[in-house]
Amino acid sequence: WDPLTGLGWSDRIREWAAEMLSKGEEISILFIDLDNFGAYNKTYGHTVGDRVLRRVSHLLRQMIDPERDLLVRYGGDEFAIATLRHREEAEQLLLKIKEQSGIASDDEPYRPITFTVGLAGGRRSQGRQNVHIASTVEDLLLTASKDCLSRKRRLEEMG
């Protein structure tokens, strides 16, 4: 467990996702990356950065359904949500989270934190056959992370 946010780490999402896939469930992964957080930490200090990470984790916790979603702190300034939601519902959750971008540090006297969200999975309508579950989980995490980076690049190019 991450002592700063109280969330599980990335190994927790891998365990949960593998368990759900082994039960025949379909999952989606949302990958959330804080934008330019390294520069934010250097400008305002790690104490402020830690407060922002706690605030973002609190915000994300309020947006998930613990019955079908698992939120973890994936890495330094990255979070991930594994969910049993079908793709359309996962996309709605992505939009709901994205709407909160910039709000997470409203009461801070510093510039708002924004974040980018990527998505993978949730499209399969039939059970998986002869799959290596751990590899499938890694592929979903990698695809969600790449989607997040791709969305981030598109935003940077636009503006």
Point out the residues that are catalytic: 77
In whole angstroms, what is the distance from residue 6 CA to residue 54 CA? 9
In whole angstroms, what is the distance from residue 75 CA to residue 107 CA? 24
Residue 142 contacts by C-beta under 8 Å, 6 or more apart in sequence?
A: none
In whole angstroms, what is the distance from residue 47 CA to residue 99 CA? 26
